[in-house]
Amino acid sequence: MRLIPRLAAAVTGLALVLGGVVAAAPAADASPLGCFYHVLEQHPGADPELVEQACRSGEEGGPENFRMCYFQLRQEYVPAVVAAEACRRAGQE
């Protein structure tokens, strides 16, 4: 009899852990690293060092950091839509 409650508790705990992993997975793409890879996937000719610098400047979020990131990427001739999406990703936590 004691095995069934323990098994039920273990299965419930496992479901909660797996649910937490799934819930956290989308956040893995929202960071300066996500910004960096988004730019290089969409615009492979961009200078990786300049892209990294731009993504790090947008990391803290906020309108000013977004503009700084966007401006730096546009100077590298990254298309406007790609730059905006990348800077948005850089500022998310």
Angle of CA points 65, 67, 69, to nearest 5°: 70
Q: What is the DSSP letter of 44?
A: T
Q: Which range is most confident: 4-8, 17-21, 26-30?
A: 4-8
The set of residues, in sequence order, having a beta carbon less than 8 Å from that of 2 and lying 6+ positions away, is none
Cα 70 to the chain's mean position, in Å?
16
Q: Is the pLDDT of residue 18 over 80?
A: no
For the chain, the domains span: 1-26, 31-91
What is the DSSP code (8-state) at residue 27?
G
Digit-coded pLDDT (tens) for 37-51? 999 999 999 999 999
Looking at the predicted structure, is the pLDDT value of residue 78 above 80? yes
More confident call, 89 vs 2: 89
Q: CA torsion angle for 80, 82, 86, 88 (degrees, to 10)?
A: 60
